[in-house]
Amino acid sequence: MAKFVAYEWDDQSVRAISASAKGANLAIHGLVEEAIQPANEDVDAEAARENAISSALESVGAGRGQAVAFSARRSQAEVRRLEFPDIPESELPDLVRIQAPTIFNAGDDGLLDFTPLGELQDGKRYISATAIENDTQVDVISSAAAAGVTIGNMTLHPFGSAFYIERYLPSSTARLIVDILGVEAELTVARDGVAHLVRTIRLVPDSPDLNYITSEVHRTLTSYENQPNGGDVTQIVIVGKEAMHQELSDTLSQLVEEPIELFDPLAYTSIDSTVKNNMPNNAAAFLGLMGCVIQLANNETPAIDFLHPTQPPKQTAGRDRAVKLGIYAAAAVAVIAVALWYPVKTKRDTIDEKYQLVGQAGSLTPQLIKEQDDKNKVLAAKLGTVGEFSTNTVSWLNEIAYLSDTLPQDPNDVIVNGFSARINQNRSGQNANVKARLSLDTLLRDASLLNTMTTSIRNPLHAISNNGLQETPDTPPYTRRTLQLIDLPIVEPDLDTAEETSNENEATTEADTSQTPESADDASDDATETNPTTDEAPEATTQTVPRPSSESTPTTEGTTDEAEEIENPDDSESSESTESAGV
């Protein structure tokens, strides 16, 4: 059966465990605590720690090249509680990674992971985010390499402790776990097997001050009660059953309603005889390692694993919703287009039939032909209205998609602080050729990104301008802010062809009226062979269909006045708009 190995270290010692699954429990095959020797002239502190790690892993039977788990202490990592509005869980990984550089000292090079804290509360979603600095990551990997093993998982000690206790002492309420670990103690408020609040206090080795621990426990309880997602802690669990733990239990009993629980994690495992004969002091301190190993042995995912952080699904729910909305919008546009096109087609078919009748009836008078031409002009005007509608309609989904494709690829370079999109109803002066206008209020990591964004967005159908760069010292790491205006030009339908056709029909009518009776009779006799009016009618009908011009002239870049116009949209813009605020 596969053995799983995990280890941790602090300033004084290295602890390692090897175990395998035995049903739903653990079978422990190795449990070792190796002291870290003080540095001297021959061996520095780092080498002394690497020697202790190698010795501990060898003692628990770690094989050469085996993937082991490292459990980081709370003092070796940063833990923050974050809150977000009611957003899909699939969007949380990206949002956490965007905010991480501003809330963690680990920076962009550190390792990051998070886990949700319970269900949605008061319309907000709470998570516990953790980070490890790059220096700690390098120390862990290099010391493991020196010991001849690799790091397969990197978890957090208090989360393993919370999981293990919940597995064997399930509770529906919040509990405080007091885990004394030699030079420090971890105070963890856990609910449903997940650490909600974690604090570390430093202790004097081998002689902890119980009064100091009691005061810090009281501070921890008060802190959790005052959190937005906190509450009352009704139970305290002390890890260990030695005399010191019993004395601490008597001291803490007055802080909670329920009796203090002394928890021995080894009571729920089977231990090899060789391990029982060489049991380390304060074996209960291996609780976090046991919580890590039992999850790996049962193929369960730890709540925090820096090497396997929470990732969004391949197809997010938000993207699915956007696709569905796009399909519905396209279907609606298609229905509207058919509804507008079908009556026009019916009218055009009717016109064609009437022109055929005109060609067959040589006795039609010029007055009837003129009336028919007037009707054709009315229909041509309607067709022009339909063409103008389709030409000047803005597809906001396409414009948003275009901006998404042209913004910088690195999401950390630019933040869209504000976005608006409006149809231009006041088409006069400088706005005469502007069909719609979009504005982007953006925060930039550096000034060079402004030219990059302007170049990528500008094309013949998008004219862009900005109000310059303003320094923003209050929003690190984004040092510049700018307001960019994007104008969409008007593409007008070409109705010149329809007007020329109408003029030709009028000229033909006047020519027929001015014929002499003899020429009229001759024309009537020859009507079956050729009829200028009827021969040209289908052609004229085709020419009266308006065609939108394929050429468009992009508007020039906006001036400072246009920037002011965006800031006061009620002066010239319609209420039809789409606005959103960036995170």
> Residue 577 in contact with residue 569, Cβ under 8 Å?
yes
What average pLDDT score do residues 450-463 get?
90
Point out the least confidently predicted range of 113-127, 294-308, 539-553: 539-553
Point out the least confidently predicted range of 118-122, 343-347, 575-579: 575-579
The residues, ordered by sequence, that sit 6+ positions from 208 with a Cβ below 8 Å of its Cβ are 180, 185, 244
> What local confidence, expressed as pLDDT, does residue 525 receive?
42
Is residue 541 pLDDT above 70, yes or no? no
> Residue 174 in contact with residue 187, Cβ under 8 Å?
no
Is residue 325 pLDDT above 60, yes or no? yes
Q: Residue 580 belongs to what H/E stretch?
A: strand 573-581
CB hemisphere CA count around 60 (13 angstroms): 33
> What local confidence, expressed as pLDDT, does residue 263 receive?
95
Is residue 63 pLDDT above 80, yes or no? yes
> What local confidence, expressed as pLDDT, does residue 314 receive?
59
Structure tokens at 473: 């010292």
> What local confidence, expressed as pLDDT, does residue 535 receive?
38
> What local confidence, expressed as pLDDT, does residue 149 receive?
95
Give the residue ranges of DSSP H helices in 226-316. Answer: 243-252, 273-277, 287-297
> Residue 175 in contact with residue 188, Cβ under 8 Å?
no
User: Band of the pLDDT at 391, cuts 50, 70, 90?
Assistant: low
CA-to-CA distance for 398 and 326, rounded, in angstroms?
Answer: 10
Is residue 553 pLDDT above 60, yes or no? no
> What local confidence, expressed as pLDDT, does residue 288 receive?
94
DSSP codes, 386-439: HHHHHHH---HHHHHHHHHHHS-SSTTTEEEEEEEEEEE----GGGTTEEEEEE
Q: Within a 10 A sphere around the Cβ of 257, how many other Cβ atoms?
A: 8
Tell me what the pLDDT averaged over the chain comes to.
Answer: 80
Is residue 67 pLDDT above 90, yes or no? yes
Is residue 217 pLDDT above 60, yes or no? yes
Question: Per-residue pLDDT tens for 45-54?
Answer: 899 999 999 9
> What local confidence, expressed as pLDDT, does residue 476 receive?
86
Q: Residue 13 belongs to what H/E stretch?
A: strand 13-22
Q: For the chain, what is the radius of gyration of the CA atoms?
A: 39
Question: Per-residue pLDDT tens for 7-45?
Answer: 999 888 999 999 999 988 999 999 999 999 988 888 898
Is residue 122 pLDDT above 70, yes or no? yes
Identity of residue 183? V
CA-to-CA distance for 426 and 439, rounded, in angstroms?
Answer: 17
User: Band of the pLDDT at 348, cuts 50, 70, 90?
Assistant: confident
* DSSP-based three-state secondary structure for 148: coil
What average pLDDT score do residues 261-286 get?
92
| Bridging pattern class, strands 233-239 and 174-180 | parallel
DSSP codes, 368-380: HHHHHHHHHHHHH
More confident position, 226 or 390: 226
Point out the least confidently predicted range of 1-5, 172-176, 398-402, 480-484: 1-5
Identity of residue 158? P
What average pLDDT score do residues 202-223 get?
89
> What local confidence, expressed as pLDDT, does residue 361 receive?
64
What average pLDDT score do residues 164-171 get?
94
> What local confidence, expressed as pLDDT, does residue 489 receive?
87
> What local confidence, expressed as pLDDT, does residue 546 receive?
38
3-class secondary structure per residue, 87-110: CCHHHHHHHHHHHHHHHCCCCCCC
What average pLDDT score do residues 193-205 get?
90
Point out the least confidently predicted range of 208-222, 445-459, 511-525: 511-525
Question: Per-residue pLDDT tens for 71-92?
Answer: 999 989 999 988 888 888 888 8
User: Band of the pLDDT at 579, cuts 50, 70, 90?
Assistant: very low
Is residue 532 pLDDT above 70, yes or no? no
Is residue 511 pLDDT above 80, yes or no? no
Is residue 148 pLDDT above 90, yes or no? yes
According to the per-residue pLDDT averaged within each range, which of 343-352, 489-498, 566-575 is highest?
A: 343-352
What average pLDDT score do residues 284-304 get?
93
CA-to-CA distance for 49 and 143, rounded, in angstroms?
Answer: 8
What average pLDDT score do residues 537-541 get?
36
Question: Per-residue pLDDT tens for 475-501?
Answer: 888 899 999 999 988 765 444 444 444
Is residue 434 pLDDT above 60, yes or no? yes
The pLDDT > 70 percentage for the chain reads 80
Torsion (CA) 439, 445, 450, 451 in degrees, nearest 10: -150
Cα–Cα–Cα angle for 266, 247, 294, rounded to 5 degrees: 20
What average pLDDT score do residues 383-398 get?
76
The pLDDT > 90 percentage for the chain reads 38
Is residue 551 pLDDT above 70, yes or no? no
Residue among 422, 395, 410, 443 nearest 583 (CA): 443
> What local confidence, expressed as pLDDT, does residue 317 receive?
57
Is residue 55 pLDDT above 90, yes or no? yes
The residues, ordered by sequence, that sit 6+ positions from 515 with a Cβ below 8 Å of its Cβ are 523
